[in-house]
Chains A and B, each alone.
Chain A
Amino acid sequence: MTEPRNPGISSIPQAAPVHTDSTPPAVEMDPVEYTLRKRLPRKLPKRRNDVYVNMKTDFRAQLARCQKLLEGGGHREICVHGLGLAINRAINIALQLQASSQGALQLAANTSTVELVDDLEPEDPDEAGEPMTRTRNNSAIHIKVFYPDPQ
């Protein structure tokens, strides 16, 4: 497959060509070829103690950032979020933080579903294909890492 064309729209950085036979059966695909552009997930409110984990940044850097927030930043609790593939990494970071605190930190994990939007753009503008959007769901995790209040 060819490299994705220049998106033109700067807010959509990820683009991947799609094979027509491998798409889920939710949307019927006609012979016109489409380019699948994944929009970025909807931005969630970000507090100073929120950490959104991704798969591009180095694991150690993200772990160090969390440690800094808890130790140097003076936060009693931080929230580690992970979406899709980054769930694994978010859990790993949270468990690492707990392990290195010698049991002082507690974890409270919540799961959720995030709706994502894909844009389907026709490859050839001369053909009759119309731009479409498709929504799909992806799992997410939100882990609160906190020092329990002394009772």
Chain B
Amino acid sequence: MKSSQAACRTSIGCQSALFSPDVPSSSTKLGQSNFRRVHSVTEDSSPYPIPGLAADILHMRVKEGSKIRNLLRFAIARMEEERRDSSGTSLRQVVFSGSGRGLTKTITCVEILKRKVGGLHQVSKLYYKTVNDIWENPQQEAPDVTVQRTVPAICILLSKDPLDPLEPGYQPPQTRSFPTEDTERCEGLVRPDHSPFTKHAAKRLCLDEWRACSP
């Protein structure tokens, strides 16, 4: 069963996402006919859709279930660390990417980070990510089915150094930097132990803190 799994895969070029991107039609149909999604493989043709990036850049992959406070605590720690010893690990740029239902979270992360670490240049790129879902039927000895899906994705580069302003999707650093009520609230999100609301802080501390932010 397991050994034949890789050998016999029929490929169906089903681009359901192109015509009804909000409804995962093909996946529900397969789910009804006793198929089970084994795993999804993401095709990575080029690592970043933004030109001219270093290979070892800090890349934050935002998923649907990632906690914003974990992602930001990690990213901010790496960006502030650079200030202390500028000779060693110089972190001038960070890339955030997310797809599907993690899109909004990706943008929210970037927006909060821009407020917290001022003077960041930004380039945003939109693209379709191709995901190959492999479905297997546990009941019958039928060959596994590979379904190709396209999900919308975003990739955002934040840089302390100036970027090419003619690049499509470029945004200069924001000039307004007055402390609002919201930035305080975000601080409470990133560092829960400073929060004056002990009930909420205790709840947050119980959660598995660092799982989602391993690089």
Cβ–Cβ contact A26 & B169, under 8 A: no
B104: contacting residue among A24, A28, A84, A107, CB under 8 A: A84
Residues in chain B near residue A99, CB distance under 8 A: 18, 128
Cβ–Cβ contact B111 & A113, under 8 A: yes
| A-B pairs with beta carbons under 8 A, tally | 78
Cβ–Cβ contact B111 & A59, under 8 A: no
Cβ–Cβ contact A106 & B168, under 8 A: yes
- Knowing A25-B188, A96-B18 touch, does A141 contact B107 (C-beta < 8 A)? yes
Cβ–Cβ contact A110 & B18, under 8 A: no
A88 within 8 A of B: yes
B58 within 8 A of A: no
| Closest B residue by C-beta to A98 | B126
How many angstroms between the C-alpha atoms of A26 and B196 in the bound complex? 10
Residues in chain B near residue A143, CB distance under 8 A: 126
- Knowing A59-B22, A91-B154, A96-B21 touch, does A111 contact B104 (C-beta < 8 A)? no
A139 within 8 A of B: yes
Q: How many residues on B have C-beta within 8 angstroms of the other chain's C-beta atoms?
A: 33
B83 within 8 A of A: no
- State which residues 68-114 of A face B: CB under 8 Å: 84-85, 87-89, 91-92, 94-96, 99, 106-113
B200 within 8 A of A: yes
The interface size bin for chain A is 20 to 34
Residues in chain A near residue B154, CB distance under 8 A: 91, 109
Cβ–Cβ contact B171 & A26, under 8 A: no
- Knowing A87-B103, A113-B111 touch, does A92 contact B169 (C-beta < 8 A)? no
How many angstroms between the C-alpha atoms of A136 and B195 in the bound complex? 18
- Knowing A59-B21, A107-B168, A139-B111 touch, does A88 contact B126 (C-beta < 8 A)? no
A137 within 8 A of B: yes
Tell me the A residues contacting B by CB distance below 8 Å. Answer: 24-26, 28, 59, 84-85, 87-89, 91-92, 94-96, 99, 106-113, 115, 135-137, 139-141, 143-144
Tell me the B residues contacting A by CB distance below 8 Å. Answer: 18, 20-22, 100-101, 103-104, 107-108, 110-111, 115, 122, 124-128, 152, 154, 156, 168-171, 181-182, 185, 188, 195, 197, 200
